[in-house]
Amino acid sequence: MASKRAPEQQHHPVDPEETAAAFARAIHDGDIVNFRLLFQPFSPAREDSMESFDTAKYDYLLPDSEMEADPRYQEYLEKVKEPANWEHIQQELAANRPARMPAELVLLLADRAVELGKYTSASLAYEQLRIRQRMQEEFLALADDKLREGDVKTGVRGYLIGTGLEYNYSAFPEPLPAVHNFQTQALILHGRYPQKTEDCVGMLPPEAHLRRAFEFLLGSADVAARLDEYSLETRLAFFRELVYARDPEWDTFAARMKEAVEMAREMQRRINELMGAGDGTYDGLVEEISAELGDDPRAISAKLLGDDPGAPREWWQYLKDLGYRSPPAVLFVARQFVGNSEIIVPRYVLDSPVAQAAGIDLPRPKS
């Protein structure tokens, strides 16, 4: 019986200039995913693949004319074409096995990703080189040096990089970079209904409030503990920079917060009036307020989000959205029952230095 002949491999011509350009673009973008893709069996950079850079499916891997004019891109292109790196790339593209990435280029890509603020990509690249933890500690140490020198802005950036390189080794099916999930963490932070005013996050003493804020916004209790050595003044300045780093539109939210505070004050005044005129219970209070005043208390929660109050939601939905849109805002609100409904309201110490640092301090109401 005649033996079966293995099918012949089909080849297609690959332009080495396009291949080099694609690798240079991946480095320029700090994109470890596209860098890895170029080594995959179906990569248009492989001669034994039927894919091509000329198709709409893969032309995004190539630089556009604007990028080609960028000196940084040209620098990366020259690095890719260096004999040692180019030979390594060609060897791996020709091999029929999982590729071994050129370490020098992966490191270059990781550093570029940090520069661009793509910390997940940087984390993957550093982990691939088995230096992620060392790089994480180095960034945090450099950040501490900057804080001691009084350069708070650079110090905050260093802490953001350090926490951005965190890894989740329990992820399934393989370890992955740990990413912030402020929506879920907001629910955890406010998971227990406050029995007393002092139980609210925003009502904590300044030291405790800052510590809770750093743990929440940095996503690591251990990293937050590093800030304990600094003066209250430094930590307040750090907090202010961190707030704007997590929400670049914080000023817009701060304005809404002040409006929501006034709305909450007016609601409380009206509740007190209704309680005094009624039987002293909260039953049906939402309906009473709405009927008497033409106002739904949930409008306060909607104001915090900047939403149209016409579509009321549950307290946890408001809180979850708030954690997504403006993570720092979660530190200055609390849950509150009004009648049978639960809403999210502003709740923080008005003359606290933490509120002042965040730019949401307001004068206390006149008694």
In a domain, 178, yes or no: no
pLDDT tens-place string over residues 92-140: 999 989 999 999 999 999 999 999 999 999 999 999 999 999 999 999 9
70: in domain: yes
Confidence (pLDDT) at 295? 61
Which residue in the block uniquely carries the two structure tokens 């720092």? 328
Q: What's residue 277's pLDDT?
A: 56
Name the residue range of residue 313's domain.
250-358
Residue 231 has a CB neighbour count (10 Å cut-off) of 8
Distances in Å between the alpha carbon of 292 and those of 263, 267, 284, 287, 299? 16, 12, 12, 8, 15
The pLDDT > 90 percentage for the chain reads 71
- Give the DSSP H/E element, type plus range, for residue 26: helix 16-29
For residue 73 the two structure tokens come to 């891109």
- The verdict on residue 159 lying in a domain is no
- pLDDT of residue 3 exceeding 60, the answer is no
**C-alpha 280, offset from chain centre:** 45
Give CA–CA dist 45/216, Å, rounded. 43
The CA radius of gyration of the chain, in Å to the nearest whole number, is 27
DSSP state of 271: H
Residue 32 falls inside a structural domain: yes
Mean pLDDT, all residues of the chain: 89
50 domain-assigned: yes
Residue 100 lies in a domain: yes
Residues 316-364 have pLDDT tens digits of 999 999 999 999 999 999 998 887 788 899 999 988 999 999 999 877 7
| pLDDT of 280 above 70 | no
pLDDT tens sequence across 19-37:
999 999 999 999 999 999 9
Which domain-ending residue is among 87, 114, 141?
114
For the residues 52-65, what does the mean pLDDT come to?
93
Backbone angles phi, psi at 273, to 5 degrees: -65, -45
What pLDDT does 293 receive? 45
334 lies in a domain?
A: yes
Return the DSSP state at 53: T
How far is Cα 68 from Cα 21, in angstroms, rounded to an integer?
9
Q: Which of 54, 79, 114 marks a domain boundary? A: 114
Distance (Å, whole) CA 319 – CA 314: 9
Question: Average pLDDT for residues 48-55, to the nearest whole number?
Answer: 90
In a domain, 236, yes or no: no
Count of domains forming the chain: 2
Query: Over the stretch 141-178, which tens digit does the pLDDT of each residue have?
Result: 999 999 999 999 999 999 999 999 999 998 888 898 99
Residue 50 DSSP code: S
Copy the structure tokens of residue 289: 């307020």
Report the length, in residues, of the chain: 367
What does pTM read for this prediction? 0.87
Contact yes or no for 333/304 (Cβ under 8 A): yes
Let me know: does 332 contact 251? Beta carbons within 8 Å. Answer: no
Whether the Cβ atoms of residue 188 and residue 197 lie closer than 8 Å to each other:
no
Q: Supply the pLDDT for residue 338.
A: 80
Q: Which of 76, 94, 114 is the last residue of a domain?
A: 114
